[in-house]
Amino acid sequence: MSIFDVTVVGSLNMDLVARTPRLPAPGETVLGTAFVTVPGGKGLNQAVAAARQGARTAMIGAVGGDAMGESLLALLEAEAIDAVGVQRLVGSPTGVALIAVSDAGENLIVVVPEANGRVDDAAIARHASTIAGSCVVLAQLECPLVVVAASLAVARGAGAVTILNPAPAPADGLPDAILALCDILVPNEHEAALLTGLDTSTVDGAIAAARVLLRRGVGAVVVTMGERGAVLVDGPTAAGLLVTAFRVTPLDSTAAGDAFCGALAAALATGSALPAALERASAAGALATTVAGATPSLPTLAATEALQRANPTHTGAPAR
């Protein structure tokens, strides 16, 4: 029996969030209407999302030796997330994200890694038993690539399901050696375009990009496309499965992708098949857009299932 359902290897940040009527153009200054400091970071968000979906969850990463780091560790404890693998690096600041959110729910984000950038493969070696004792291991790209590769390799060797959310996508792409360690790759449409050089603004384009990534060694690709839903392709010649988005009134899309990834990992870890897991992930991602902030927006399993029950005919369909 696994020790954990989901282990998340990734970043822990404090989000500095400003609300504004609209996002500024390059070189433009706009006046904000509100400011708040909220725990975040893709790793932390996805760990909290998985835990709120009922998964036994562990976190591996780093915070600085400052008050922000203490706050993030306190949040992990409050969410019943195992934080033995989270280093407290005295002398290093905690990572931060500078976020602008418009009244339309769109966002603009700048991440400064700080302590997240000091996690190394030695940390993965120290906590290999946590990774190996997990059903699903989920990583992103706000920590050094060597850490991502090491964690996925340990997980693959132990038979865990490996999920990579390639965000932020590197401008020079990802090595095939890392892609080959991914059972499931979950880019959004912009990340899929960066990784493949293809136009992913349409469903057909997202499917084409997914097939490129599959040929490079990924087991299955899920391309998230915001209000247009998500596309699953799980074989080089397989038809894409389109999971349409749940209809909600968006307020802030900041952690929608993290809610999607955490819910996907939790559903797979607790026995759901991939199409059913995508339905739950889609519902969780939609709900996250209805609440301001990162961690405050991540929905519980009860709320996610309620949205699914309210949309009983919401099922995936062939993309073509």
- Render pLDDT for 67-125 as a digit per residue (tens, 0 to 9): 999 999 999 999 999 999 999 999 999 999 898 989 988 888 898 999 999 999 999 99
- Per CATH, the architecture of 4-12+41-93+115-318 is what? 3-Layer(aba) Sandwich (3.40)
What gap in Å lies between CA 149 and CA 3, rounded to an integer?
22
Position 314 scores a pLDDT of 64
In the chain, the percentage of residues whose pLDDT exceeds 90 is: 83
Fill in the amino acid letter for 144. Answer: P
Sorted by where each begins, the domain ranges of the chain are 4-12+41-93+115-318
Active-site residue numbers? 258
Position 128 scores a pLDDT of 97
Contacts made by residues 150-155, CB under 8 angstroms, sequence distance 24+: 150/121, 150/124, 150/125, 151/9, 151/60, 151/124, 152/178, 152/181, 152/182, 153/181, 154/124, 154/128, 155/7, 155/131, 155/181
Tokens encoding 53: 């979906």
DSSP H helical ranges for the chain: 42-52, 67-78, 121-126, 128-132, 145-158, 176-179, 189-196, 203-215, 256-269, 274-288, 301-309
Q: What is the mean pLDDT of residues 277-303?
A: 94
Strand partners, 48: none
Global pTM value: 0.92
- Render pLDDT for 202-252 as a digit per residue (tens, 0 to 9): 999 999 999 999 999 999 999 999 989 999 999 877 778 999 999 999 888
Q: What is the mean pLDDT of residues 253-261?
A: 93
- Render pLDDT for 48-61 as a digit per residue (tens, 0 to 9): 999 999 999 999 99
DSSP single-letter state for residue 188: B
